[in-house]
Structure 1
Amino acid sequence: MVKKWGITALLLFGVYAIGMYFYIFHSDSAGIPANLKGTVADPQVFMSDRELYLSEEYSKIKNFLFFVATPFEWLIYLLILITGLSQAFERWIPLQKKGGILQNAVYVFLLSFLLFIVLFPLDYYRYSLSKNYGISTQNFHSWMRDNVIDFWVNFGMTVVIVTILYWLINKSTKKWWLNAWLLMIPYTIFLMFIQPVVIDPLYNDFYPLTNKELETKILTLAEQANIPTAHVYEVNMAEKTNALNAYVTGIGSNSRIVLWDTTLNRLSENEILFIMAHEMGHYVEKHIYFGIAGYILTMFVGLWLTAKLMPWVIARFGRVLKIKRINAIHSLPLFLLITSFLLFVSSPLSNYVSRYQETRADQYAIELLVDPEAAVSAFQELTKAGLNEVNPPLLVKWFRYSHPTMLERITNITNEIGEKE
């Protein structure tokens, strides 16, 4: 039975991967609409032939990796269960009393380390791909350092969550999901509060913007938008990437406006001011709070569905999956599989909401600065720096794009200015 399940899962994954390969590499590309060819939104206008070629090639590989990586992770969870590895990890816990934080930490470490090793070739290929296409500038030692930090940060947070989760399941196998959701609300807000000052500095150095004249202009914009901030932060990303970015992070007194140094080095002052105005738009529109509310609602639905699905799966397939009961720590891979699947299938909806918010932030930035040329040229530079597709295939847009496509963003700006004229 185990062999049959394993072979079936591998075959299904193989068929899915082949299907996605043909969709990504051999289906008709979305292309550029005829009425937009030759306009500022057409990549042939602002990208060289080599950039166009690399962009198309790099985007296809990235998109294919995205669509196979998550189902591959589901396959790993399934194989860990049906081969009995999850039960073995629980048996290897050295202490007799099961369910304590130390015992859970041992189990989570074994599971996390196995996943790290199995997924490492895929992660390394992504890193190498980014290096080969000139996006990443990070050396292997620095990349591995970030991976190790990732491992331990995720491990620490997972141990806390898993310990509380299984304590709640042991207390009530029916209402655990509701209690878990209630506890996740303050936990999520706490993480967002400490992210800029505790977690982010583990990976990069943050310091006040060195260009004080530019900082003054950005803070003047912030004052116009009634944003209470005393500093704009710069982060040293040039040693890791050629891509460009800026963002607003944190909540309350720990909120920050952050600029990558690559953005400062490559964009003009007016382009940077447009990007900053865009980020301020998120603050003014209160997107961060809508995001928190949306995340809390998503957790509610996700935990409720997981609480319904886990007992059903265990009752029907428990023998094959080698899960004796839901409150045993060896059921964790099933929990991770279900929640990962739910997040994946819900991503088109969350991305749709995010794209709407990004469009609103673009509109705010245009109204604040009234500099469409800077907006268009900033988007063009972002496209070239990241070798991004301006008009990806539909499934790619649904599942991958939390921002509108560059074709949409540039066209929206030119249309809005045209209407005002």
Structure 2
Amino acid sequence: MLRWGRAFRPPSRGAPPGGIPGRSSRSPGGVPVPGDAPGRPLRTAAPLRSDFFRDLGQTLSHMGRTLKSQLPPLRGGQGGWTPPGIPLQRPPIPEEADVVVVGGGILGWATAFWLKALEGRQHGMRVLLVERDPTYSQASTVLSAGGIRQQFSLPENIQMSRFSAKFLRNINEHLGVPNDPPIDIQFQPSGYLFLASLDGAEKLEATVQLQRDEGVQVALLSPTQLKERFPWMDTQDVAVGSYGLEDEGWFDPWTLLSAFRRKAKSLGVLSCTGEVRGFVTSPRDGDTARIKYVHEDEPDPSDLSVDDEFFQDRVWPRLARRVPAFESLRRGRSWGGYYDFNTFDQNGVVGPHPKVENLFVVAGFSGHGLQHAPAAGRALGELLVKGGYKSLDLRRLGWGRLETGERLEEAVV
């Protein structure tokens, strides 16, 4: 039950019913009324107004403290709402956590969100996310082009793309926060186009068949059809092309990252700034170990200057070869960013580490981490909360292939 504070005191405290002595009376429009002394300036009751608003502020502050004391606190001592008049205080960073998420890019925040969403309890596991760049000025997530496509050659990648596309279509159902504006990731539909010469035509056609078997809407186009659809393109050396018809395009990475972060925090996820550079493990039976502590240091940003010569010498000639109109292309703006690259087989690594039993990995997606984050984050969340994969079976993307040397080749990188 909420108990209210003292009632407001009216502004006319201490004033006689007929007005305030020594004050002239005027109509609301500022026109003198009978009884005004001619030539006297209009003066306002500033001290009285000051008393009123001071009392109002004190009353609201008292009400805010009363409400805050009767709201159930979140872990860390803070309620989910801060009333007016109460300074906003960040909850203290816990010395211990049930789960520490290293990295606050899109994969990190997606994993943190799914951990709490799948758990279904507000005061359950303590999840702490550590990010080294709180401004995200050098984060690969926000420096990416923000594309999503369905055209991959591995079933796991296709399934993650299909899951993510459905997630993004219904993003407000998943990441909407009460009383916040609706999320608009500014999706721009535009299919990806892949071209193959005569040598690669058979392989591309087989890949398209796999994509169709997984439910992807994709078209195979002959050189004539390509020329009709894209008359500005040189197709002399092209035997076949594949063009995405649905769930492909571009969106705003920052909006998606912010939506995951905002929703995760509303579910109780805590975050801090730092860089994890090592773990302290405890010995276990056999060859496995267990993480006891996480060592955290201040970040050391690196240079991300743009290599203009690379564009001029390597990229521009290829663009102009395929699209002759690009001969007159001049670079306007440019930026550099990190590319999360798995040198083993250019596919993501998802799942437990074989040697450290409480270390789980979701990384190395080699350019498609942004679009696969909703799916990969859920998969890892299910592994931790439910004890196994439920929505998507990503066992083949596990760490084991790095030890056995069995590559998962993705032909459409």
- Shorter-chain TM-score bucket reads under 0.3
Report the TM-score when normalising by structure 2: 0.23
The structure, 1 or 2, with the larger RCO (C-alpha pairs under 8 Å, 6+ apart) is 1
Task: Pick the structure with more helix per residue.
Answer: 1
Report the TM-score when normalising by structure 1: 0.23
The structure with the larger Rg is 2
